[in-house]
A and B are shown apart, each in its own frame.
Chain A
Amino acid sequence: MDITSFFQSLEATGLATRIRDSQFAFPLIEATHVFCFSLVFGTIAVIDLRLLGIASSQRSFKRMASDILKWTWAAFAFTVLTGVLMFITNARVYYHNFYFQTKMVLLVLAGVNMLVFELTAWRTIHRWDTAPSAPRAGKAVAILSLSIWIGVIFMGRLIGFTTKPGAVVAPPSNENFDNFLGGGAPDSGAPPATPPTAPAPDKK
């Protein structure tokens, strides 16, 4: 089974179909995705700013990490879950979307970055735990982490601007969604017979 038919079968599942056809599901799932991701980014930012010595510099890093990172992982789990639920409604379109691909690459890089941290600065934590900032490797990881996650945010937003939700029933046509990347009039409201296979510009 090649990847296209695999994605097609994902799109055809009852779950994906119900989300796609619902007036409420996709918007709520996406909104939850934003909320969960804000917690991921917010908690990571607390850690990264500590590593850089910009905030909370009098606190033990180990203490902060053990307090915070479990929340980061929990929020990340729900972010991935909501992301997958959105993905399956229109898998082929997202898979071929440049910004989606970049976002996935950035996520992998974020993971690699975390691993690098474990293998470098974390090894000597007993030496800098109560120092105001981390050694150079730790600071580099922190800057990379913040940059990567901000990149993820930006790419995520651009997915929304360069794809349409795979809705079989289109929302009311005269909502004020200017089609600014493609120009021209808003979607006429005629429901597409199948999920679009090419990215159609839509402002979200």
Chain B
Amino acid sequence: MKEFAQWLSTTSPSIYIQNNNAWFIPTVQSIHIVGIGIILGSIFMVDLRVLGWAGTDQTLQQTTNRFAPWVTGTLVMMLITGILMVIGEPVRELITLSFWMKMSLVALGTVLTLSFQRSVQKHGAQWEERLHHRSVRWMVVVTFLIWICVILLGRLIAYDHFWGSWSPAAIQ
């Protein structure tokens, strides 16, 4: 992985970003954070509907349909900005425990969120009947907690010494 990261830092897209990184990285990071807001807000609104705490004048399916394009679209945008950051600073991103923990949770969170979203869009009535079930409520809470951990881990990439000797970033 270290060799791959070091090779990546010698490619021309990476060199371009490194040469312009005074504005490039902060800008891409800021776009990434705007995306976090949009996606977390969207998931939050759907979860509030599941829990019956907001938007109860609409069905779960109507709520999901409203926010689905934002969730899916922003996930794509997050992937793009994420890839740009990895290309720009390969060693900083790839040689940390936080990054890989984050990516594992991103994969898990994406599967959970998108499959729930798609299922509600197809079988809205069935989900509407099950909304009060504890398992459904727990599912959205756990998924939300996963996304919170994604956000925390994203910030911890810059502080990988947080993990002490588990962090590959601290060489000695």
Q: Which residues of B contact A26 (CB under 8 A)?
A: 159
Smallest distance from the beta carbon of B70 to chain A beta carbons, Å? 7
Chain B interface category by residue count: 35 or more
Q: Which residues of A contact B44 (CB under 8 A)?
A: 39, 42-43, 71
Binary per-residue interface labels of chain A (18-50) against chain B in the complex, 1 for a CB within 8 Å, 0 otherwise: 000001101110111011011111110110000
**Is A175 an interface position by the 8 A CB rule?**
yes
| Count of residues in A whose CB is under 8 Å from the partner chain | 46
Q: How far is the CA of A63 from the CA of B27 in the complex (A)?
A: 35
> In the complex, which residues 24-61 of chain B have their Cβ closer than 8 Å to any Cβ of chain A?
25-27, 29-30, 33-34, 36-42, 44-45, 48, 53-55, 57-58
Q: How far is the CA of A67 from the CA of B44 in the complex (A)?
A: 12
Assess the A46–B41 pair: CB atoms within 8 A: yes
Chain A CB within 10 Å, residue with most, of B37, B40, B42, B89: B37
Assess the B40–A42 pair: CB atoms within 8 A: yes
Smallest distance from the beta carbon of A81 to chain B beta carbons, Å? 16
Assess the B41–A67 pair: CB atoms within 8 A: no
**Is A59 an interface position by the 8 A CB rule?**
yes
Assess the A45–B155 pair: CB atoms within 8 A: no
Binary per-residue interface labels of chain A (61-102) against chain B in the complex, 1 for a CB within 8 Å, 0 otherwise: 001100110010000000000000000000000000000000
Smallest distance from the beta carbon of B154 to chain A beta carbons, Å? 8
Given A31-B156, A153-B33, 9 new contacts (CB under 8 A): A23-B164, A27-B159, A35-B148, A42-B41, A59-B57, A71-B48, A154-B27, A160-B158, A177-B92
Residues of A whose CB lies within 8 Å of any CB of B are: 23-24, 26-28, 30-32, 34-35, 37-43, 45-46, 55-56, 59-60, 63-64, 67-68, 71, 150, 153-154, 157-158, 160-161, 171-172, 174-178, 180-181, 203-204
The 7 closest A-B pairs by CB, nearest first: A42-B41, A41-B37, A27-B159, A67-B54, A31-B155, A172-B170, A31-B152
